[in-house]
Structure 1
Amino acid sequence: MPSLHRHLVHRHARRILNKEPRDLAPGEAQLFSFYAPSLVGGLHNISVNQTITAPAEAGSKSTARRETKIDPLSQSFVVVAPRFALPPNVVDSVYPTPGISVAHTVLPHIVLKDPHLPWSRAPSDAHITPEEDKNNVRSRTTWLALLVFSVEELQLSQGQIDRVMGNLPVEIDRKQSETKTLKIIARQTTKLNDIEGLVNTTGFDTTLDAKDADEPTEIILLSGSLFTDLFVDPEGPTEIINVSSYKYMAHVRKIATDGMANAGADSDEALFSCVVSPRTGPIDADESSMMIAHLVSLKWDKDMRYPKSSDLVAMTSLYSWTYTCLSSKNVASTRDLLTNLGQHLSVLRTGKGDEDPASGKDKEQVDLAALIAARRRDGYTLARHRTATGEITAAMLRGPLVPRQVKHKIDGMPMQSNYGHDLAIFDPKFGLMDTTYSNAWQLGRTLAMADNAFCAALTRLREPVHAFSLDSAKKDVHALFGDDGHGSRQRHAARMVDLVKGLNRINDSMHTLGGSATAAGPNRWCHQDDDQSGVGIESLDLVSQSSPHIMPRIRAHASTAALHFAMAVNTDGHVKGEKQEMYNEYNTPVNPHYAVVYSWVLDKIHLGNVPAHYLIPDPAFLPQETLRFFYLDTNWLDALVDGALSLANHWGAKPERDTTRTAIKEAINERLRTPDPALGGWHVQMPRYGFLLRSHILTQFPDLSIDVKFSEKRENPAMMKVDPPANTPAQQPILVQKRIAPDTMYLLLDAAPPDLKRITLTLPPHQQCFKIGYNLTADTLSMTVRKTYTIENRPKAGATLGERHFKLDGTPVAAFNWKTRTLNPAIFSRYLVQQLGESREGEFEDKVPTSVVTALQLNESILQLDIGDAWATDSPEVTPLFQLSTLSEMGVSQQPPPIVPRPRLKMEPGFIRGISRNSTNLASRIDHSIPDRPVEDMANQLGFDMVVTPMGTDSQAFIPTNSPVPIDLIFRLTRKRVISWGEPLTRIIVGVPTGDMPPTDNDPTILKPLLAANAEPSTPTMLGNPRLNVLKRYPRENEKELQNHVVFELVPREQPGVAIDKITNASFKLPRAEIVSYDGVDERTASIKVFYEVWRNGVSVREDQFMHIGKVYLKACIK
Structure 2
Amino acid sequence: MDKTMNTQPTKIDFVQYHQPGLESGEYQLTISQTLSVDDEAKATPSLTRNFHVAGERFHLQPEHIHSVFPPAHSQSDYANVFPHVLLSRNTLPWEREVYSDDNETPWLALLVVHENEMDKVSESIVAIGNIAEGVASAPDVNNLEPGQTNATKVAVVDIKKSLLDKIMPNEQALRLLTHVRQTKDNEGNLAGHDMATVVANRLPKKGEQNTVYLVSLENRLKSDGTFNYQRAGTTDKVRLVKLHSWEFTSTETIGDFATILKNMDSRVSTLRLPDSNTVAAPYLKNGLYPLPHRMRQGAQTVSWYHGPLSPRSNAETFDFPAKGADALVRYYEKDGMFDVSYAAAWELGRLLALQNTHFSTSLYQWKRRYAKTQRHGNNPTHLAGSVTDTTLEALPAQIRDWLTKLENLEGVPFNYLVPDEELLPVESIRFFQLDRLWMEALLDGAFSMGRVTSGDHALDDEIRALEEAFVPSATTISGFIMRSEAVAGWPGMQVEGKTANDVPLELIRRVALSPNVMLCLFKGDLQTLDLHLKPEVLHFGVAHDHKKALRDVNGQEIDKEGGGKLKVTVPFNDKLVLELPDLSKNISTKKENNDNVYWSGANPTSTHLALQMLEGVELVRFTK
Same fold (TM over 0.5): yes
Instruction: Give CA deviations for 1:263-317 in whole Å, capped at 9, x if unaligned.
Output: xxxxx968765432222368xxxxx664734223133455955466736333345
**Corresponding residue number in structure 1 for 2:212:** 294
- 2:163 is aligned with 1:199: no
Structure 1 gaps, min length 5:
1-25, 134-140, 156-175, 233-241, 257-267, 283-287, 358-369, 473-486, 496-542, 544-553, 566-590, 674-685, 715-728, 777-781, 791-797, 808-814, 873-1119
Q: 2:10: which partner in 1?
A: 28
Which residue is 1:609 aligned to?
411
Given candidates 673, 696, 705, the residue that maps to 2:485 is 696
Which residue of structure 1 aligns with residue 315 of structure 2?
407
Choose the corresponding residue for 1:623, options 402, 425, 447: 425
1:319 aligned to 2:264? no
- The whole-number CA distance in structure 2 between the counterparts of 1:340 and 1:298 is 41
Cα pair 1:96 1:102 within 8 Å, conserved: no
Matched, 1:107 2:81: yes
Q: Deviations over 1:362-417 (max 9, x none)?
A: xxxxxxxx34x5444433334455555677765442211123332241xxx31313
| Letter matched to residue 862 of structure 1 | V
SS of residue paired to 1:865? strand
**By how many angstroms is 1:667 displaced?**
7.4
User: Partners in 2 of 1:432 and 1:654 — Cα distance?
Assistant: 32
* 8 Å contact from structure 1 (residues 297, 315) kept in 2: yes
CA–CA separation in structure 2 for the residues paired with 1:668 and 1:301: 66
Equivalent-residue separation in structure 1 for 2:585 and 2:14 (angstroms)? 18
CA distance in 1, matches of 2:96, 2:310: 58
Q: What SS is found at the alignment partner of 1:415?
A: coil
After TM superposition, the structure 1 = structure 2 runs for residues 274-423 of structure 1, keeping only pairs within 5 Å, are: 274-280=197-203, 290=208, 292-302=210-220, 305-306=229-230, 310=234, 312=236, 313-317=238-242, 318-321=244-247, 323-324=249-250, 332-341=255-264, 343-350=266-273, 352-354=274-276, 356-357=277-278, 370-371=279-280, 374-383=282-291, 385=293, 387=295, 395-409=303-317, 413-423=318-328
- Relative to the length of structure 2, the TM-score reads 0.76
Taking a change above 3 Å as real, the CA distance of residues 63 and 820 of structure 1, as seen in their structure-2 partners, is same
Distance 1:132 1:645 in 2: 67
**1:694 positional shift:** 0.8
Question: Structure 1's 604 and 87: CA in aligned 2 closer, same or farther, altered over 3 A?
Answer: same
| C-alpha distance in 2 between matches for 1:204 and 1:432 | 82
Compute the displacement of 1:625 (Å): 0.8
Identify the residue that residue 69 of structure 2 maps to in structure 1.
Answer: 94
The answer on 1:735 being equivalent to 2:514 is no
Conserved in 2, the CA contact under 8 Å of 1:186 and 1:204?
A: no
User: Is the 8 Å Cα contact of residues 86 and 319 (structure 1) preserved in structure 2?
Assistant: no
Decide which of 73, 84, 109 is 1:145's aligned counterpart. 109
In the TM superposition, residue 662 of structure 1 has moved relative to its aligned partner by 1.6
Contact 1:381 1:617 in 2 (8 A): yes
In structure 1, distance between residues paired with 2:411 and 2:149: 42
Partners of 1:596 and 1:458 in 2: CA distance: 10
The verdict on how the C-alpha distance between 1:255 and 1:424 changes in structure 2, with shifts beyond 3 A counting, is farther
Give the whole-Å Cα distance in 1 for the aligned partners of 2:454 and 2:30: 77
Correspondence for 1:245: 174
Partners in 1 of 2:454 and 2:33 — Cα distance?
Answer: 83
CA–CA separation in structure 2 for the residues paired with 1:34 and 1:463: 69
> Does the residue aligned with 1:492 lie in a helix, a strand or coil?
coil
* Higher-RCO chain (CA-CA 8 Å, sequence separation at least 6): 2
1:786 aligns with 2:551: yes
Flag the 1:844–1:769 CA change in 2: closer, same or farther, 3 A.
closer
One-letter amino acid of the counterpart of residue 407, structure 1: A
1:636 positional shift: 0.9
Q: Does 1:219 align with 2:157?
A: yes
Is the CA contact 1:121–1:299 (under 8 Å) kept in the aligned structure 2? no
Deviation at 1:40, TM superposition (A): 8.6
Contact 1:44 1:77 in 2 (8 A): yes
In structure 1, how many angstroms separate the alpha carbons of the residues matched to 2:557 and 2:384? Answer: 88
Decide whether the 8 Å contact of 1:32 with 1:251 is kept in 2.
yes
Change (3 A) 1:616 1:850: farther
What does residue 770 of structure 1 align with?
Answer: 540
Residues 598-617 of structure 1 deviation map (CA, whole Å, 9 limit, x = unaligned): 44433322223322222112
Q: How does 1:957-996 map to 2 (within 5 A)?
A: none
CA apart distance, 1:468:
6.1
Asked if 2 retains the 8 angstrom alpha-carbon contact of 1:187 and 1:206, the reply is no
| Alignment of structure 1 residues 849-928 onto 2, 5 Å | 851-868=606-623, 872=624
Whether 2:508 is the aligned partner of 1:750: answer no
Structure 2 Cα separation of the partners of residues 820 and 383 of structure 1: 54
Give the conservation status (yes or no) of the 8 Å contact 2:265–2:427: no
Kept in 2, the 8 Å contact 1:427–1:433? The answer is yes
1:39-78 aligned at under 5 Å gives the runs 43-45=25-27, 47=29, 71-76=47-52, 78=54
1:36–1:116 CA contact under 8 A, matched in 2: no
Q: Secondary structure at the match of 2:549?
A: strand
- Which amino acid letter does the alignment assign opposite residue 458 of structure 2? E
Give the number of the structure whose alpha-carbon radius of gyration is greater: 1
Distance, in Å, in 1 between the alignment partners of 2:215 and 2:463 is 63
**1:645, 1:448 → 2: CA distance?**
8
Paired position in structure 2 for 1:437: 342
Show the counterpart of 2:3.
Answer: none
Q: Is the 8 A contact 1:832 1:854 kept in 2?
A: no
Contact 1:199 1:311 in 2 (8 A): no
Please list, as runs of the form range in 1=range in 2, the aligned pairs for 1:592-741 lying within 5 A after superposition. Answer: 593=395, 595-647=397-449, 653-666=455-468, 686-712=475-501, 732-741=505-514
Structure 1 SS opposite 2:536 = coil
Which string of whole-angstrom CA distances, capped at 9 and with x for unpartnered residues, describes residues 655-674 of structure 1? 233244323445777x967x
Q: Which residue of 2 aligns with 1:126?
A: 99
Could you give the per-residue CA deviations for residues 239-265 of structure 1, whole angstroms, max 9, x where no partner exists? Answer: xxx367345345446489xxxxxxxxx
Alignment deviations for residues 1083-1113 of structure 1 (CA, whole Å, 9 cap, x no partner)? xxxxxxxxxxxxxxxxxxxxxxxxxxxxxxx
Structure 1: distance between partners of 2:153 and 2:267: 50
Hey, what does 1:977 align to over in structure 2? none
State the alpha-carbon separation in 1 of the partners of residues 26 and 506 from structure 2: 49
| Structure 1 or 2: more strand by fraction | 2
Aligned partners of 2:184 and 2:356: how far apart in 1?
36
Paired residues of 1:228 and 1:307 also in contact (CA < 8 A): no
Sequence identity of aligned pairs in percent? 18
Distance 1:345 1:397, change over 3 A: closer
